[in-house]
Amino acid sequence: MAELTYRDAVTRGIAQEMERDTRVVFLGEDVAKAGGVFKTTVGLYERFGPLRVRDTPISEQAILGAAMGAAMTGLRPIAEIMFADFLAVCFDYVANQMSKLRYMSNGQLSCPLVIRTGNGGGVRFGAQHSQSIENWTMMIPGIKVVAPSSPVDVIGLMAAAVRDPDPVIFHEHKALYATKGEVPDGAIVDTIGTAKILRPGRDCTIIALALMVPRALKAAEALANEHGIDAEVVDLRSLVPLDTQTILNSVAKTGRLFTVEENPRLCGWGAEIASIVADEAFWDLDGPIVRITTPHIPLPAADHLEDLALPSAARIADKVQRVLNG
Amino acid sequence: MASAAGATTGSDRLRNDDIGLDRRLELFRLQVEIRDCEKRAFDLFLQNMIKGTSHLSIGQEAVAAGFGVAMREGDKSFCTYRGHAHTLARGASMEGMLGELMLRDIGLMRGKGGSMHLTSVEHGVFGSYAIVGAHLPIACGSAWRAQYLGDKDVAVCFFGDGTTNIGAFHEALNFAAVWKLPVIFVCENNLYMEYTPISDVTAVKHPAADRAAAYGLERIVIDGNDADVVYRTALDALQKAREGGGPSLIECLTYRHSGHSRGDPAKYRPPGELEEWLKRDPILIYRQRLQEFDVEQETIDSIETESKRKVEAATEACKASPPAPVELLTKDVYADGGWAWRN
């Protein structure tokens, strides 16, 4: 057992899989000799060599296209798109190509690859380098969507993503890179499509993802200490496949549901969960489902404004207690 | 290179021929079969037996045939929505191709892909892509895999002149050149990007070849209606790629005899243009070529007769094929064979 940063967990997760399987190759902008702009891939170039860890030009279409062509013909590529916002310039590959390949070819072709990307805000980068775009990727049939919140989950879900036979979008959260967590020694392999109950509780269910997970946990502590509310916190960990059973079971127990989403409000993942719960667990609910989200705005760069935009632990706690006590 | 000049006989020419009779007959057979299949596809449209859209290669058969004969087993084709010809040229069956256009169970993808997405992995056809330019980077990826694993196959990527103005074209060429990938980019310049003359929207005369220098590549423009020229150019580029010499960009000048797609009567063409190009019909050219080589008329006729018979038989097989079973609707979204996005 050792304490590791989220950032170093990314490196360790990739290294673990590259060590295991020579078909795993890695490409992206500044990822090899420079070790990545977020320093998430330091040492991989030196360890696995220039044939397996490759710097690319600033050509996001070429990066995802090449990863796809390599995956279709036998490799297991990991491609980095530096900022998740940049997926917009190569979204064809996500929306039209890799996600539809297996279906359109009637199963003749498959695309086992991982797209790693720096998602989310809270780091004062402004509107084009801060978005939480996991909901863009969630709505496309044929891909899987993962967003870990802790170092141990980064490693285990990275391993699962690399070994997965389908394309996986792996959302790393930029504001979590410096956070630390305990990580066991040895290889770690997790399962995509499994949510985790991080804090059991009786009074309400708070579902969160990525950066919103530590904030939801902090809010739950405040709710317990200051309001006597015992909140259950669920870390979704992946949006596709969605662990609906864990959500429904939790709602059956608590009777109240809150989602905490970093994405702007419209069509955020919480809306889909609210819809599922309303359809399938309506009679378990003791009150309305409440979504706590970033407002439907671009993100500002100014720190005090960005802090107002993203759901904070204080805002989560305040909203939950007002709804439950109101 | 064999020369057809002088007073030599066809037999003399054959003796000195780098292509050889067998391959010449194969080049002819492929062009004729592609032509007949495409014409049949057009007829089936008129009979409402083919739905959706379709993009025919009538007039452009020499490019597909030249590469089809030059490529070897294991080489991979990446095609566009105008991909029927290239799919047949790698050996996929007529009933697989026509059946897919007719969206029947007998089709290459059992009707799940349709005319624009023809795929036959067993024949090296790694997909037909309907978003312009998308498959150039994908072909780079296949070539990267070959380079990394030491495989000797080459990725060949076919596209139209219109593709040269989209970003993915330029990203792929630079990427392939920098990584020295075994990939061949084949531009079929048929003078029109959909409905608009390519010259109206492109800063250079040759939309592909005049961009080659920007990526450190040789400028190659060839007669895309002469299957021999295409075949020889393809062989050179394939050999170069296999030997680690990196990518090639080849611009093939050709012409589509019909409109862009099913709904296009091609009224934008200046009068007389089609007629001029019909004089340079690749099949006409190749029939004459075979005659110059003293190939017996009977042999030529039998290839043409056999092609029509095969198209007829394939059409009947497709008509007899049921539509795809409904369970295919949700099949193969994910690797487990299903479509489950939740538990």
Q: For domain A196-325, say whether CATH 1.10.599.10 is its number.
A: no
Q: What is the mean pLDDT of each run of 10 residues along chain B (343 residues)?
A: 58 87 97 97 93 90 98 98 96 98 97 96 98 98 98 98 97 98 98 93 97 98 98 98 98 93 86 95 97 96 98 98 95 98 97
Residue A96 has pLDDT above 80, yes or no: yes
- In the prediction, which pLDDT does B1 show? 43
- In the prediction, which pLDDT does B322 show? 97
- In the prediction, which pLDDT does B6 show? 52
Type of residue numbered A144: K
Mean pLDDT of chain A: 98
- In the prediction, which pLDDT does B264 show? 85
- In the prediction, which pLDDT does B3 show? 47
- Expressed as residue numbers, the domain containing B90 is 11-321
- In the prediction, which pLDDT does B259 show? 85
Domain harbouring B22, CATH code: 3.40.50.970
Mean pLDDT, to the nearest integer, of A154-172? 98
**CB of A275 less than 8 A from some CB of B:** no
- Position B5 in a domain: no
Q: What is the pTM of this model?
A: 0.96
Which of A54, A109, A165 minimises the CB distance to B127? A109
Could you read off the pLDDT of A237-276 as tens digits, one per residue?
A: 999 999 999 999 999 999 999 999 999 999 999 999 999 9
- Position B342 in a domain: no
H or E element at residue B77: strand B76-80
Burial of B227 (0-12, 13-18, 19+ CB in 10 A): buried
**Shared fold status for A2-183 and A196-325:** yes
- Position B102 in a domain: yes
In this structure, which topology does domain A2-183 adopt according to CATH? Rossmann fold (3.40.50)
Burial of B304 (0-12, 13-18, 19+ CB in 10 A): middle
How many domains does chain B fold into?
1
Scanning every residue of chain A, which has its alpha carbon at the shortest distance from the alpha carbon of B126? A109
CA B332 to each of CA A100, A233, A243, B311, B326: distance values in angstroms, whole numbers, following the listed order: 9, 34, 21, 31, 13
Which of B142, B167, B328 minimises the CB distance to A72? B142
- Position B3 in a domain: no
* List of residues 6+ apart from A56 with CB closer than 8 A: A27, A28, A29, A62, A63, A66, B175
Across the interface, do B137 and A65 touch by the CB < 8 Å criterion? yes
Across the interface, do B340 and A241 touch by the CB < 8 Å criterion? yes
User: Chain B 136-155, CB below 8 Å of chain A: which residues?
Assistant: 136-146, 148-149, 155
User: Chain B 91-120, CB below 8 Å of chain A: which residues?
Assistant: 108-110, 112-113, 117, 119-120
Task: Answer yes or no: are the C-beta atoms of A203 and A228 closer than 8 Å.
Answer: no
- In the prediction, which pLDDT does B265 show? 85
Contacts 24+ apart (CB under 8 A), A121-125: A121/A174, A121/A175, A121/A211, A121/A262, A121/A294, A121/A299, A121/A306, A121/A309, A121/A310, A122/A174, A122/A175, A122/A211, A122/A306, A122/A307, A122/A310, A123/A174, A123/A175, A124/A301, A124/A302, A124/A303, A124/A306, A125/A83, A125/A174, A125/A301
Domain boundaries, chain A: 2-183, 196-325
**Known catalytic membership, residue A171:** no
- In the prediction, which pLDDT does B33 show? 98
Across the interface, do A92 and B131 touch by the CB < 8 Å criterion? yes
β pairing state of A238-240 and A24-28: unpaired
Q: Å from B309 to nearest chain A CA? A: 28
Give dist(CA B31, CA B37) in Å, integer. 10
Complex ipTM tops 0.85: yes
**CB of A22 less than 8 A from some CB of B:** no
